[in-house]
Structure formats: C-alpha cells, structure tokens
Amino acid sequence: TPSKEGKMFIKALFDYDPNEDKAIPCKEAGLSFKKGDILQIMSQDDATWWQAKHEGDSNPRAGLIPSKHFQERRLALRRPEIIVQPLKVSNRKSSGFRRSFRLSRKDKKTNKSMYECKKSDQYDTADVPTYEEVTPYRRQSNEKYRLVVLVGPVGVGLNELKRKLLISDTQHYGVTVPHTTRARRSQESDGVEYIFISKHLFETDVQNNKFIEYGEYKNNYYGTSIDSVRSVLAKNKVCLLDVQPHTVKHLRTLEFKPYVIFIKPPSIERLRETRKNAKIISSRDDQGAAKPFTEEDFQEMIKSAQVMESQYGHLFDKIIVNDDLTVAFKELKATFDKLETETHWVPVSWLH
Ligand code: 5GP
C-alpha cells in the first residue's frame, strides 16, 4: 500500500541481471529486475552500489543494484554519440565509483585511463534511461483526467481501437481538433474537422512551441496544438492522443501526467492469420485508398514496433498486444477503468 512517508521508490527503466554484470562485487548479493519494476531504495550509502528491494516484497533482505550515476556512466560509454572525455588517472585516492568502473572494463590496456564526462550535463541523462524516482498517485474526483497517449506502428490497429473507445462513450472520451492552413471545404466547419488558420499564424505558433507535432501535406501545414489537448481536458473528458513516440518526452509534465499505452503487434504468424482480409492506410500523410496488407507491411510493422520498444519502452506505462481486436479493446477498456480509479506510480516531479 502506498503513501509510505519518507521512503524512496524508483521505477527501473532497464532490465538488470546481476549474473550478467561483470562489475558487481558479489553476484549472489545482486537484485535482478525488469524494466518497469518499482523498487524501494534501502540504502544509498555507497556511490556505486545501492541496496534495494522490490516494492511490496515482504522479505526484508535488500539486494545490490547499480547506482543511477554508475549505470548512467557505463551506459553512456557504450553510446558513441554521447561525448565522454578521457581523464588521466591522478594519484588521488580513487573513489568507489572509479574502482568499480575500472572493474567493469574488460580491456586491460585501458586500465590506465579512466573516462569521465567533463560536466554531468554533457549528456542528456534522459537518453540514458536508468531509474526514475516515483511516488504513488491517485486521481481525485475533482481533478482533470490524465492525458492518454497511444503509440504504435502504422497498421497495428491504433485508429480502430481509438474509434471504438470514442464510440463506446462519447461523453467520456475526446480527441483533439487539429489545426490546418488549407482552405475550409464547404461541408466543413471551423473547430469541428479542423481549426483553420493562416500560414503566417501557423509558423508563428510553431516558433512559440504551441504544437505537440505538425507536418506538411500538399503545401499546407497540419498540426496538433497543446491548447487543443487542454480544451478536451477542460471538458472533463479523457483525451486520447496518438503521436510519434519521440514526442512523448515533451508531454511528460505535471499538467498532463500522460499515461502512455503502446499498441504492439502480435507475432508475424498471427499478423498473417488475423490481417488476411484487412486493409492498411500506409501512412498518415497518404490519403490514398486503403490497400490489403502485404508481407512487407507485416515485416515493417514488426520492425518498427521493435525499434519503438527499444528506444522508448521506458516511457510506456502499458503494453497491449493487438492480436484480436475485440480482446485488445477489452484490455484497453479495463486499463482505462483502472487508470481512473486505482493508484499508479508517477514521477515525483509531477506532484511538486
Ligand atoms: P485533408 O486536408 O484531406 O483533411 O488531410 C490531409 C492530410 O493531413 C491527411 O493525410 C491527414 O492525415 C493529415 N493530417 C490531418 N491532421 C493532422 C495533424 O494533426 N498532424 C499531421 N501531421 N497531419 C495531419
């Protein structure tokens, strides 16, 4: 049960198996965990190895886990795009961190030179996911709903699921009205299909970061504004937003408290079986008619899902496999019911 005063909880953003860790002083003392697990920190006395246990685990024995700092550094070193500066070993007494760090390197020749970031802010630690401090959160009945972000590869059925949700309760769920610079068609009304604005205003709004995402199609701009999300939430509705996963990190604010659902394809065999007679609209910017799925579409969907999961998996609160649409929809519905009534772990920064 949450609301444990003074206790510190973290969400693990990576999988950890002490048996695979060459740096750990004692494998038996390690605590294994999976991405998404909630851990309670028992001790941070050591700079390199924290002591932790799984949240809710009644066994009082804590295990060793790599500290955030240590894990960030060794992950950053494996990523060439992150600048890490070589540092000559001085005669200074080496810290626990450096000792363990050296142990973690296999190459004997490099033992002489340590690596250290010039400044800790030289790499974006959000790009090296390790842990995030979390706290229990339960929505009060007078509070706005959390923003629900749906992500998934093209063709996975995200739009069908979204449509089914909207139809299931039009009073409860809502979607944003996008902005466009194209001319209004006779049957359209401003604020319904789109909010129609000038190119000049659109460009100014882009400059002022008013959009969550935008794109260009046939010489016109289209985009979803932050205010359009606010206006759905202000109507006391659950706002369903589908975006590219890279936009999620900009939405992770106290105001929106986004709950991110990843719609994942089943195995390629199941895709072939279940999507035999289905059709795909190949891309968002393609108004072309829906075409039957091809083998390449299936492969592309699986590959795209794998990339999304490996790059952004640490931002997902829930993964729903869309094998059978009816089953996936039930699971989605159940997820929403829980979201609105139960306690969830959210970043501590959202409650400050
Ligand atoms: P139309 O002008 O025919 O209504 O739409 C043209 C294209 O703009 C469609 O392919 C549609 O998917 C795309 N579009 C509509 N709304 C948005 C939006 O909010 N963002 C982006 N990037 N594209 C959009």
pLDDT in the model for residue 148: 98
- Residue with the two structure tokens 């075409």: 291
pLDDT in the model for residue 128: 82
pLDDT in the model for residue 289: 74
Ligand 1 midpoint to CA 285 (Å): 6
Ligand 1 midpoint to CA 253 (Å): 26
Token readout for 47 is 């700079």
- Its ipTM equals 0.96
Strands (E), the chain: 8-12, 38-43, 49-54, 63-66, 85-88, 113-116, 131-137, 148-151, 173-175, 179-180, 195-196, 211-217, 220-225, 238-242, 259-264, 279-280, 291-292, 318-321, 344-347
Token readout for 286 is 């393609």
Does 214 contact ligand 1 (Cβ within 6 A)?
Answer: yes
Does 215 contact ligand 1 (Cβ within 6 A)?
Answer: yes
Long-range contacts of 209-215 (CB under 8 A, 24+ apart): 211/179, 212/241, 212/243, 212/247, 212/250, 212/251, 213/243, 213/244, 213/247, 214/179, 215/284, 215/285
Torsion of CA 227, 228, 230, 231, to 10 degrees: 120
Q: Quick one: which atom of ligand 1 is closest to the CA of 178?
A: 19
Does 137 contact ligand 1 (Cβ within 6 A)?
Answer: no
pLDDT in the model for residue 6: 76
Of 226, 284, 286, which is best to mutate to test ligand 1, by the most ligand atoms within 8 angstroms of its C-beta? 284
pLDDT in the model for residue 88: 38
Does 222 contact ligand 1 (Cβ within 6 A)?
Answer: yes
Bridge partners for 292 per DSSP: 279
pLDDT in the model for residue 1: 39
Ligand 1 midpoint to CA 218 (Å): 10
pLDDT in the model for residue 300: 97
Take atom 3 of ligand 1 and give the residue whose Cα is closest.
287
pLDDT tens sequence across 192-234: 999 999 999 999 999 999 999 999 999 999 999 999 999 999 9
Token readout for 165 is 């949700």
Does 135 contact ligand 1 (Cβ within 6 A)?
Answer: no
Does 283 contact ligand 1 (Cβ within 6 A)?
Answer: no
> Which of these, 238, 225, 229, 242, lies nearest to 144 by C-alpha position?
238
pTM value is 0.84
How many other CB atoms sit within 10 Å of the CB of residue 186?
A: 5
Contact 177, 191 (CB under 8 A): yes
Take atom 17 of ligand 1 and give the residue whose Cα is closest.
222
DSSP string for residues in 127-162 = GS--EEEEEEE---TTSPPPPEEEE--TTSSHHHHH
pLDDT in the model for residue 287: 59
Ligand 1 midpoint to CA 342 (Å): 36
DSSP string for residues in 174-192 = EEPPPEE-SPPPTT--BTT
Does 224 contact ligand 1 (Cβ within 6 A)?
Answer: yes
Which residues of the chain fall short of a pLDDT of 70?
1-5, 80-127, 282-288, 352
H/E stretch holding 97 reads: helix 96-104
Ligand 1 midpoint to CA 351 (Å): 35
pLDDT in the model for residue 61: 87
